[in-house]
Structure 1
Amino acid sequence: MPTIKINDNRLNQFGGAAQYGNVTTLRYPVATNAAGAVIGSNSAAAVAAGDVIDLGPLPSGFLLEDAQLLVKVGMTATITGSLGFKYEDGVNDTKVPEDAALFGTGLNLATAGRIRTATSRLVTLPKPARLILTTAVAANAKASDIVAIVHGERMGAA
């Protein structure tokens, strides 16, 4: 049987010093105080059901491959969330539309543990985006400590 070789499967990879030079892990900690408000944010109000927490930037050309939520101290009982992204400029992209639940929905934010999110598709961001966590079910009324971890490859600008 012949061997079929892909001519260059490292297109748009930058770095070059090592074959793993473009793999990136981004961490996004989010903690709330005893009243349920996000520490270090622009709001002193407790997180309510349906609130969108902007966790931070995702660079242009970033191939979103995987994400996890590490719930060290959970939020108020029954709170769940969705993890996804929106574009910084507020303008959706027709080829890669915003997806507030790319990595999952109904994620248990109330119970300590590691949540391996699930997505059935790979997305390369055509422009800068923001990682967002959208809460559901109930308002938060307690201190919590959660870290979102996103793994991917920096493929360079499209």
Structure 2
Amino acid sequence: MATIKCKRTPGQFGGAVPYGNTTVLAFALATNATGAVIDSNSTAAVASGDVIELGSLPEGFRLDDAQVIVITAMTAAVTGSLGFKYVDGVDSTDVPQDAAYFISGGALNAAGRLRATGTKLVTLPKPAVLTLTTGGAANAKASDIKVLVSGELLGPR
């Protein structure tokens, strides 16, 4: 049996600290009784196919995992895909934008916890926005959803 040691060491951002660079970014999504996103630029109810921009993902952030915690569910049949798009709107050939990078068509209509299903690890080459694309049906009720994205801050390349 051989012992194989990788020569490449992982990058570190922010100096050598014993606890590393792992970070969890938390995002909240709540809708009111009519199904509209609270504290947003829209008063219309969330429709099937809407893209909800949940917040920023920094350049140099390696996307390791995500969880969607549905505390109070949306209307029956509402699904969601969790992914990202670049702030500047220009795709990257190395790390393409992906509207379903973490989760594709997860049930937002039942309380529970959804975990990322992808098998790729990517590091964002530039700032991005975490997106939730809805499907299945329009939302017409109050809901409460939390999204946690974990990864390592590797810093700009």
**Partner of 1:47 in structure 2?**
46
Query: Is the contact made by 2:103 and 2:115 (CA closer than 8 Å) also made in structure 1?
Result: no
Name the amino acid aligned to 1:62.
F
* TM-score between the two structures when normalised by the length of structure 2: 0.95
| Identity across the alignment (%) | 59
Deviations 1:123-145 (A, max 9, x none): 10000000000000110000000
Alignment gaps of 5+ in structure 2 = none
**Partner of 2:104 in structure 1?**
105
Deviations 1:20-76 (A, max 9, x none): 321000000000000000000000000000000000000000000100100000000
Report the Cα distance in structure 2 between the residues aligned to 1:107 and 1:51, rounded to whole angstroms.
Answer: 15
Report the Cα distance in structure 2 between the residues aligned to 1:88 and 1:78, rounded to whole angstroms.
Answer: 30
Query: Is the contact made by 1:14 and 1:21 (CA closer than 8 Å) also made in structure 2?
Result: no
Offset of 1:11 from its aligned partner? 2.4
Give the count of matched residue pairs: 157
**Partner of 1:21 in structure 2?**
20
Tell me, what secondary structure is at the counterpart of 1:85? strand
Tell me, what secondary structure is at the counterpart of 1:36? coil
Deviations 1:62-99 (A, max 9, x none): 00010010000000001001000000011111111100
Name the amino acid aligned to 1:124.
T
* TM-score between the two structures when normalised by the length of structure 1: 0.95
Coordinate RMSD, CA, aligned: 1.3
Report the Cα distance in structure 1 between the residues aligned to 2:105 and 2:82, rounded to whole angstroms.
Answer: 9
Name the amino acid aligned to 2:6.
I
Structure 1 pair 2–105 and aligned structure 2 pair: CA distance change class (3 A): closer
Alignment gaps of 5+ in structure 1 = none
Query: Is the contact made by 1:15 and 1:21 (CA closer than 8 Å) also made in structure 2?
Result: no
Report the Cα distance in structure 2 between the residues aligned to 1:10 and 1:105, rounded to whole angstroms.
Answer: 29
Report the Cα distance in structure 1 between the residues aligned to 2:81 and 2:68, rounded to whole angstroms.
Answer: 11
**Partner of 2:10 in structure 1?**
10
**Partner of 1:123 in structure 2?**
122
Which consecutive segments of 4 or more residues in structure 1 shift more than 2 A? Answer: 1-8, 10-15
